Amino acid sequence: MKDSADCLYNKQIEYCDSAIKLGRPYGHSFAYYDLAMIYDYKGDRKRALENLNIFMNRKGMCNWFGVGKPEFSNFVNDPEFVRINAEVYRKYLEEHEKMKKWLEERGLL
């Protein structure tokens, strides 16, 4: 069902590109992650890594991104991907510590 998959991938690329162009919140961050996944699925290493680099530079980070995720099975051992993943994880830990401090200061943790 490669044709059906390509059609759906292309629709998602259009959606992501539109969200980015319109400046929607999704377009400022997660659209780049989604584009990276799609390009990974399509075997386009260059575009996948370009979008991951843009995503990596966003403010704030969640810990549900990274190596070992099935979304990026084509790049698990790629040095550039490993570097990006390490930076994303570092940013996540930084955010985690900021939130922990904020909660402790308010007696919520």
- Residue range 43-102, pLDDT digits in tens: 898 999 999 899 888 776 666 665 456 667 777 788 988 888 888 888 888 888 999 999
Residues 6+ apart with CB under 8 A from 76: 67, 68
Q: Which carries the bigger pLDDT value, residue 30 or residue 59?
A: 30
Dig out the tokens for 98 from the structure: 């900021």
Residue 39: give the domain boundaries. Answer: 2-105
Number of neighbouring beta carbons within 10 Å of residue 84: 22
Q: What is the pLDDT of residue 41?
A: 87
Dig out the tokens for 37 from the structure: 């996944």
- pTM of the shown model: 0.77
Q: What is the pLDDT of residue 67?
A: 46
41-77 burial string, b = 16+ CB within 10 Å, else e? bbeeeebbbebbebbbeeeebeeebbbeeebbebbee
Q: How many domains does the chain have?
A: 1
